[in-house]
Structure formats: structure tokens, C-alpha cells
Structure 1
Amino acid sequence: MTTVPFIELNDGVSIPQLGFGVFQVEPDETQATVEKALEVGYRHIDTARIYGNEKGVGAALAASDVARDDLFVTTKLWNSHQGYDSTLRAFDASMEKLGLDVLDLYLIHWPTPANDTFVDTWKAFEQIKADGRVRSIGVSNFRMQDLQRLFDEGLTVPSVNQIELHPALTQDTLRAFHAEHGIATEAWSPLAQGAVLQEKAVTDVAAAHGAEPGQVVLAWHLALGNIVFPKSVTPERIESNFASTGLTLSEDELQAISAINRDERVGPDPSEVS
């Protein structure tokens, strides 16, 4: 039986280290896809307001016989909803679509530094948490200077920062900053949209273990301590990704995969998103 490890966040909440992402999953496919993920054994579901599929996630949760206490659900605030009052309204809208009374993790999707609204937005997040409507609050795509701004304002340290992270973009400096401040690292685009699966270091390790390249990269993430949530709508791939928790890589193998790094993004630079 595959066992998913948990990570304890800085607020004492435990989060499954392997989750299931629904980025670019079509709304009309979301319920069935998430139901399949729950059937396979995933208990951590990551969505966002901008994905347009919170309602499908909520329908899958409602249809599942998995106890609510065994589920971990994340959604994210979109950029155009930043600001104190608009954040509170957006949270209510997301919760209605998800059909939940309490959310497990709420994230600011992007810092949008040019707009200078994430501090007021974070204060709204603190209020939502104080009201008991979310267990943990965090951020996504924040740079070190964005995180430092929150610290300088004397605000709550985020529980997580969800960032683009994969073997071609290992984010060593930012990950070290997270560790220094007790922030868990979550990795989006963990396979670089498949771009790293043909790397020799990955295929060599896959061959040595009789595993698939995607499983190797996910096992690398887990070994580094990253929280990761691969996305797929293919039942076989959903199962294959979940099996990555049973794969243990040697230190030499981990280092070989990390050496792929070339600081190469497949997504946008957070400093340029507004």
C-alpha cells in the first residue's frame, strides 16, 4: 500500500506531501478526474479561482465517501481580487463553489508587485484565518523581497510558498530562504510540463529502478522536502504519479537530477505578472 508522507506546517497543520493538481483540467472533466484521484488514494487537492473548476472539485468532494477530516483542499485568490474587502468577497465565492465550511489552505496566487496590494490582501487572509474559516494561509510565486515585505510589516509568516520548481529550475536560494523562515515549499509544474523527462540523468535513474521518468522526478521532489501535486486527466498517469511515493533514490541520484538545473522557467516570471 502506497503511503503519502505528511509535512507539518509552521502553524501545526499537517499537509500531505503528494497532492493532485487540477490546473488546465476542463470544468466538465474536473469532477470525474478528482473522483479518480481520490479513488487512487490522493487526499490533497489543489485548485484555484482562475482555473474555473472549483465547482467541479466541490462536486467530487461531495460525491466521495472519503471523510472530510482526511482531505486537504487548497484554492487560490486571483490577482484581480486582491485588496482587503475584495479578498473577503472572493473567498466567500470560492467556498460556495467548493461547498466547504472550512478550507485547509488559501493562497495569494501571485504577488503582482507593481499593484502593491498584497500586504492588504494578506491582512484579509489573517482575518479569514482568525475567523476559523481556513486552517492555513500561504502565498504563491512570492519572491524573497515579497516575503520580506510581509515580515517587515510584522504580519504572519506564510505557511507555504507555492513556486515553479523542477529539475531545470531548482530554486535553491529561495528554498533555503523558506527553510530559514519555516515556510514549506510547494512545487508547481513539477515536471516542467514534461520538458525534463528526457534528461539523461532522469532516464538513467528511471532505467536503474525500472520506473517511469515522471515517477523519478516526483520522487526527487519528495526527497527534497517539496510538496508536489502533479496534474493529469489520464487514469493510468494518475495512478503512476501516486506510486512515486514508493520510490527511494540514492543521494548520488538526487544530486545528478539536481545538477540538471539551468534556472529555466516554463512559466512567467513573478516580477512581470500583474
Structure 2
Amino acid sequence: MILNETFTLANGVAIPKLGLGTWMIPGGEVAQVVRNAAEVGYRHFDTAQAYANENGVGEGLRATGIARDQLFVTTKLVAESKDYADAVRRIDSSLKTLGVDHIDLMLIHSPQPWSDFRKGEHFFEGNLQAWRALEEAYNAGKLRAIGVSNFEEVDLDNLLDNASIKPMVNQILAHVGNTPFDLIDYSLGKGLLVEAYSPVAHGAVLNNADLAALAQKYNVSVPQLCIRYCLELGLLPMPKTSKREHMQSNAAVDFDISAEDMTTLKGAKPIEHYGEATHFPVFGASNRAK
């Protein structure tokens, strides 16, 4: 079962192959969501300072009764934090808010502040300062692994060429209809694990007749097909849901997609509209796979 399988990061840390995303799940609701997911069998939970639900995620983790070393928790430094002292303060704040003595993986949420996302400026020095804070927290045992999110090749190179510790993860938007193959290959080639957030395209693939037909061939749902697609590419998918039945079905992906069908999925028509999420920077046209 996929919930029992792990990838191994460059530093030897094991990370469950499927995670639960918590974006847009309110702090007052997320604790129960985490508890439900743990009962289903999830052990990997993804949050962020920007989600404003770290406290609830931590509450949910404690309520599971599962030993801390059996749980994997990811959070992210806010995209606007491009100063060493600010990053240090925010890292400690996440530890306190989550109520944990260590965080399993912490990422820089974006190379640019969201107001400047993909507008040309790469904030190289600011990212190096934020990364130095992550390195120090890692060396101090506060963080078991460190990485980035939404980083393009040039942003990765800034860290790879100048940092003491290489990033271990790049979490990016990747799904059927928007798969940045060049960035994935580049990240994997540099030893990073690639995580795929919104593997079901924030629901935008659900009414795709072609995907529905292909999913029927495997006797699975469209979300299951899309999650399996990411796994077949060597990615770690992070489907977000607050519904127990979806948690269960999202984890029921122990099937193989044929090479021919993978080729079809790789060439799927690009997603043009993400519904209510379209106005978020990561779903904008400038961030879609070319």
C-alpha cells in the first residue's frame, strides 16, 4: 500500500510517498482532518506558515496518539521572508505554533514574494539569507530536512552554487495537463526529490472526458489516475482534501499505468482554467509548464 512506502532524501531521511495537503483548510477544522487522515493511514502532512493552520495541524498530530517519529511534518517559510534574522524568527515560530521539537521538512515557499511571483526578479541574495537560516536550524537539529518550493532552475542554481547544504526537495505544481518535465528532470538530476502539489489540478481535471475514459480502463477515478501518474514519474503527490472518503480513494493507487497510456497523459491538453484557484499566483499562466 502506497501509504506504507517511502522515498529516501539525499541525507538519508525517509519520507512517505504520499502526503496530505492542507492548503485552504481552516485552522479550526484542520485538526480533525489530520486525525481522520491518520486513521486512514496517512503519516505525511503538509502545511505552511501562509496557510495559517499550523496550530491546528499540530493539535491534530498530537491527538492521533501516534509516536512523533512515525509522523512526517512539512511546513514552509513564508514567501516574503528574504532576510536572515526574519527567517530565524519564523522558523522558531513554526516550531512553537506546531508544538513540536523538530520539523521533518521545511521549505522556502517561493523564490519571490507572492506579489512579485514570476515577474522577473529572483531575489537571489534574499533566498541565500533565508536558506542560511534553514541550514543553521538543520544543523541544530530543529529541522530534519530542508528544501524549496516553486523554484525554477536558476533559483535552484543560486543555492546549489552558493549554499553549504544542498536543497533536498523541490515542491512544485505538477499534474496531468501541466507537467514541467524539464524542471523535474533538472531537480532530480541534482539529487532533489520532487513533490507535486495539486496533483488533481485543484479539481480542474475532474470533468475531463478523455481522462475519465482512461480512468475507466483501469477501473479507477480520475483523481486516482492523476495521483498514480505523478508516482509513475517519480514524484511525491500531495493531494489536498478534508473528506475521509477522498483520503481513502486517493491512497488506493496500487496499480500501474502502461507506457502507452503514460505517453498519452504526458501529452494531455494543458489546463486553461483552475476555477476558484485561478487567481492564485501559482496557477497563473506564467507558471504553467511550457
Please indicate, yes or no, whether the TM-score normalized by the shorter chain is above 0.5.
Answer: yes
Superposed CA deviations along residues 191-249 of structure 1, whole A, max 9, x for unmatched, are 111112333442122111221110111011111111111111122111111212x2222
Tell me: CA distance 1:261–1:179, structure 2 relative to 1, closer, same or farther (3 Å).
farther
Q: Are the equivalent residues in 2 in contact too, given 1:143–1:270 (CA < 8 A)?
A: no
Residue of structure 2 equivalent to 1:230: 239
User: Which residue of structure 1 lines up, in the alignment, with residue 256 of structure 2?
Assistant: 248
Aligned 8 A contact 1:109 1:139 in 2: yes
- Provide Cα deviations, 1:62-83, integer angstroms capped at 9, x if missing partner: 1112121111100000023331
2:165 pairs with one of 147, 156, 160: 156
- 2:107 — aligned with what? 107
Q: Return 5+ residue gaps in structure 2 as ranges.
A: 113-120, 275-279
Structure 2 counterpart of 1:70, which letter?
A: Q
Q: Structure 1 residues 149, 270: closer, same or farther in 2, change over 3 A? A: farther
Q: Which has the larger displacement, 223-232 or 78-87?
A: 78-87
2: CA distance between counterparts of 1:151 and 1:261?
33
Q: Which residue of 1 aligns with 2:33?
A: 33
Counterpart CA distance in 2 for 1:133 and 1:195 is 37
Q: TM-score, normalised by structure 1?
A: 0.93
Structure 1 residues 197 and 141 mapped into 2: Cα distance closer, same or farther (>3 Å)? same
Shift of 1:97: 1.1
Corresponding residue number in structure 1 for 2:140 = 131
Q: Name the aligned partner's letter for residue 212 of structure 1.
A: S
Structure 2 counterparts to residues 1-274 of structure 1, below 5 A: 3-112=3-112, 113-116=121-124, 117-244=126-253, 246-260=254-268, 262=270, 266=274, 267-268=280-281
Determine helix, strand or coil for the equivalent of 2:170.
Answer: strand
Q: For 1:65, give the aligned amino acid.
A: G
* TM-score between both structures, scaled by the size of structure 2: 0.88
Could you tell me which amino acid in structure 2 is paired with residue 102 of structure 1?
H
Q: Deviations over 1:134-161 (max 9, x none)?
A: 1100000001000111122143221000
3-state SS in 2 of match to 1:135: coil
Structure number with the bigger relative contact order (C-alpha 8 A, sep ≥ 6) is 1
Q: Which amino acid aligns with 2:281?
A: P
Do the aligned partners of 1:164 and 1:188 also contact (CA within 8 Å) in 2? yes
- When the two chains are superposed, the root-mean-square deviation of aligned CA atoms in Å is 2.0
User: Contact 1:216 / 1:247 at 8 angstroms: preserved in 2?
Assistant: no
Distance in 2 of aligned mates of 1:32 and 1:222: 27
Give distance in 2, aligned partners of 1:9 and 1:247: 24
1:81-133 Cα offsets, whole Å, 9 max, x none, are 33111111101111111111011000000101454411111111111101011
Residues 122 and 155 of structure 2 are in contact (CA less than 8 Å); yes or no, is this contact kept in structure 1?
no
Q: 1:56 to 1:215 in 2, by over 3 A?
A: same
Q: Secondary structure at the match of 1:25?
A: coil
Structure-2 change in CA distance of 1:257 and 1:201 (3 Å):
farther
Q: Deviations over 1:7-47 (max 9, x none)?
A: 11111111111010100001111011110000000000000
Percent identity for Structure 1 against Structure 2:
36
